């Protein structure tokens, strides 16, 4: 085997294909040669298919005598990179079944004339594809000019404004789609053919004693953390909040004997009982080196620019973008985070409306804040486009599942890969590779046969963590997040400057929402007069105890609040300038 260094100029000549170094020209020049990058951030091409898999954690390998090459973006925990080619030679297209990691990869089979893309189980690294003039363009970077110079997608714009993220495989650019998670994708100029290599499906509930299942889960949690620590490098950082998930990770990481760094973000000094306050107490309990980062430093223009450039139109508006920029100064080699699949709500959704709200997907009423300030035809176009995507998503959900099962699948299909993973990849992933041990493949397999009552309220998960560490809850849980700025006040403070920019700038978003509409929304902003008594009563009404006593009130459709809608509009305008 031959591993290319950045200076290697490897060549393979076989069956008419030449492996050589080249750069993908702007405008995508035509070539029939298989080319691999001179540096990890350079593209390669085969016939009419071009691929760019650069970025943090990228690596590549060539097997000249076999005419095989692999390019990896992300991290494999189960195998070394050279093992991927061995698995492919041994198992063919089922090689992906054996891989565990947070990754996307490209495998080139020169003899067969194929390029395969593989996406991981949870969609932690996005791959985007589009056809152009008989060619297929594939990249992990949505900021490619071949993508960004396209017209905006009405459905993509509608999703970004209504929910903050994309539904299904959409992007904000017409004809640019994200490849499905957990698939082997055959990349050809005429399109992409995808085959799932793993399916999450609920089998008969296990009849094993809960204590036995809890002990197995504890072992799986330890193993998942250990696998990732072996790839983490010398400076391990944990995103620490005041809830269960990240403190459980802190306990597991601390037990490894490694030096662990933790961080939290706050809007100003940490409030008592906030995530940042509790995170600091937890770090002291476990002997971790802790830093509190400022979520927002007062420069709205810089925050909008970061959200446009980093979020790429697929990540929800990031309140704490400044914190991620600050974290880069601490030079982490790895970032651990606590996304998990063990249950989120005390009471599973009973209706489709509730299910979508639990997945943070509002109905088309979310866009009603544009009604009356946007021309009726333009408003109807966005409303109907979003409604159509939402309906398509619900129709893809299987029937015959109970509420807990539906919520789990909705997480895997939408909430995880479309909301949480883009946020982790686009913001944290710019700083260092992101590791999500609570979404380990063996844990996902284990979940498929758990009795439903052990999934609800994270019952088994909490029990396993407490069995591993009885002192886990010595520090009480956080009561408030404490990091989200008052965006209504910030928009009011910067309103004059924003309106001047709107009066002089041009964006392709103007086709959907003209600058005059954005100005009108800014003019309608007023002081946020929340009634503290009403807020407290509402919070009490939503507690499990009061819900059981008074019954659960169905969720009411409501528009996106004006400040959030404005932040999404202003970010999209920057993206489409």
pLDDT for the residue numbered 557: 65
Q: What is the pLDDT of residue 9?
A: 31
Q: How many Cβ atoms from other residues are within 10 Å of residue 26's Cβ?
A: 9
CA dist 67 and 115 (Å) reads: 12
> Closest Cα partner for 210 from 407, 441, 453?
453
**pLDDT tens, N- to C-terminus, the chain (577 residues):** 333 333 323 332 222 222 332 333 344 334 444 544 444 346 666 768 888 886 656 888 888 778 888 999 999 999 999 999 999 999 999 999 999 999 999 999 988 888 999 999 999 999 999 999 999 999 999 999 999 999 999 999 999 999 999 999 999 999 999 999 999 999 999 999 999 999 999 889 999 999 999 999 999 999 999 999 999 999 999 999 999 999 999 999 999 999 999 999 999 999 999 999 999 999 999 999 999 999 999 999 999 999 999 999 999 999 999 999 999 999 999 999 999 988 766 677 888 888 888 889 999 999 999 999 999 999 999 999 999 999 999 999 888 888 888 888 999 999 999 999 999 999 999 999 999 999 999 999 999 999 988 988 899 999 999 999 999 999 999 999 999 999 999 999 999 999 999 999 899 999 999 999 999 999 999 987 555 544 454 444 444 444 444 444 555 668 999 999 999 999 999 999 9
Q: Return the pLDDT at 552.
A: 47
Domain limits, CATH 3.40.50.620, in the chain = 210-348+402-485
- Using the 8-state DSSP alphabet, how is residue 561 labeled? P
Collapsing DSSP to helix, strand or coil, 116 comes out as: strand
Distance CA 498, CA 303 (A): 13
Gap between the Cα atoms of 484 and 115, Å rounded: 43
Distance, in Å, from the CA atom of 288 to the CA atom of 484, rounded to the nearest integer, reads: 25
Tell me how many degrees the CA angle 224-226-229 measures, rounded to the nearest 5: 115
CB 157 within 8 A of CB 572: yes
pLDDT of residue 38: 42
Q: How far is residue 240's CA from residue 28's CA, in Å, rounded to a whole number?
A: 43
| 8-state DSSP, 397 | S
* Secondary structure element (H or E) that encloses residue 376, with its range: helix 376-396
How, if at all, do strands 434-435 and 334-336 pair? parallel
The predicted pLDDT at position 92 comes to 95
Which of 75, 72, 253 minimizes the C-alpha distance to 88?
72
Written as six digits, the tokens of 525 are: 């902003």
pLDDT at 24: 37
Task: Considering only the C-alpha atoms of the chain, give the largest distance between any 2 of them, rounded to a whole number of Å.
Answer: 76
Model pTM score? 0.89
Is domain 210-348+402-485 annotated with CATH 3.40.50.620? yes
Q: What distance lies between CA 5 and its chain's CA centroid?
A: 31
Per-residue pLDDT at 529: 57
């Amino acid at each position: 085997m031959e591993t290319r260094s950045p200076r290697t100029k490897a060549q393979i000549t076989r069956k008419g294909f030449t492996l050589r170094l080249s750069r993908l020209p702007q405008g995508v020049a035509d070539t029939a040669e298989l080319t691999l990058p001179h540096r990890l951030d350079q593209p390669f091409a085969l016939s009419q298919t071009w691929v760019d898999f650069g970025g943090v954690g990228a690596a590549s390998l060539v097997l000249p005598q076999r005419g095989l090459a692999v390019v990896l973006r992300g991290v494999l925990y189960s195998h070394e990179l050279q093992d991927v080619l061995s698995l492919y030679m041994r198992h063919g297209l089922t090689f992906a079944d054996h891989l565990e990691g947070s990754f996307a990869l490209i495998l080139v089979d020169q003899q067969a004339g194929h390029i395969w893309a593989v996406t991981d189980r949870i969609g932690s690294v996005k791959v985007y594809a589009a056809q152009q003039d008989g060619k297929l363009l594939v990249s992990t970077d949505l900021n490619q000019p071949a993508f960004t110079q396209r017209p905006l997608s009405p459905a993509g714009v509608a999703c970004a404004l209504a929910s903050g993220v994309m539904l299904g495989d959409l992007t904000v650019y017409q004809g640019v789609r994200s490849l499905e998670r957990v698939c082997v994708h055959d990349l050809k100029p005429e399109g992409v053919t995808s085959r799932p290599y793993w399916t999450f499906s609920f089998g008969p509930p296990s009849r094993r004693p809960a204590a036995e299942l809890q002990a197995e889960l504890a072992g799986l949690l330890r193993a998942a953390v250990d696998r990732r620590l072996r790839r983490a490098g010398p400076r391990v950082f944990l995103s620490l909040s005041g809830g269960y998930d990240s403190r459980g990770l802190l306990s597991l990481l601390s037990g490894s004997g490694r030096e662990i760094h933790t961080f939290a973000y706050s809007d100003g000094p940490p409030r008592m009982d906030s995530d940042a306050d509790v995170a600091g107490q937890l770090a002291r309990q476990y002997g971790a080196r802790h830093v509190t980062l400022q979520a927002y430093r007062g420069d709205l223009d810089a925050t909008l620019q970061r959200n446009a450039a980093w979020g790429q139109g697929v990540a929800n508006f990031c309140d704490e973008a400044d914190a991620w920029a600050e974290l880069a100064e601490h030079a982490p080699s790895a970032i651990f985070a606590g996304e998990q699949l063990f249950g989120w709500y005390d009471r599973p959704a009973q209706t489709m409306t509730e299910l979508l709200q639990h997945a943070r997907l509002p109905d088309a009423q979310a866009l009603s804040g544009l009604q009356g300030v946007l021309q009726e035809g333009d408003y109807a176009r966005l409303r109907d486009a979003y409604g159509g995507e939402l309906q398509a998503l619900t129709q893809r959900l299987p029937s015959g599942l109970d509420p807990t099962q539906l919520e789990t699948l909705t997480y895997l299909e939408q909430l995880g890969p479309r909301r949480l993973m883009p946020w982790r990849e686009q913001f944290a992933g710019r700083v260092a590779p992101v590791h999500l041990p609570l979404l380990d493949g063996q844990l996902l397999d284990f979940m498929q046969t758990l009795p439903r009552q052990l999934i609800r309220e994270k019952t088994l998960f909490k029990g396993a963590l407490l069995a591993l560490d009885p002192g886990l809850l010595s520090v009480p849980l956080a009561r408030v997040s404490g990091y989200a700025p008052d965006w209504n006040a910030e928009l009011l403070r910067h309103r004059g400057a924003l309106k001047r920019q709107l009066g002089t700038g041009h964006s392709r978003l103007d086709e959907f929402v003209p600058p005059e509409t954005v100005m009108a929304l800014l003019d309608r902003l007023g002081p946020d007069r929340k009634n503290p008594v009403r807020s407290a009563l509402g919070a009490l009404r939503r507690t499990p105890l009061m819900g059981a006593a008074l019954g659960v009130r169905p969720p009411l459709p409501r528009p996106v609040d004006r400040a959030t809608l404005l932040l999404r509009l202003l970010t999209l305008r920057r993206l489409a300038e």
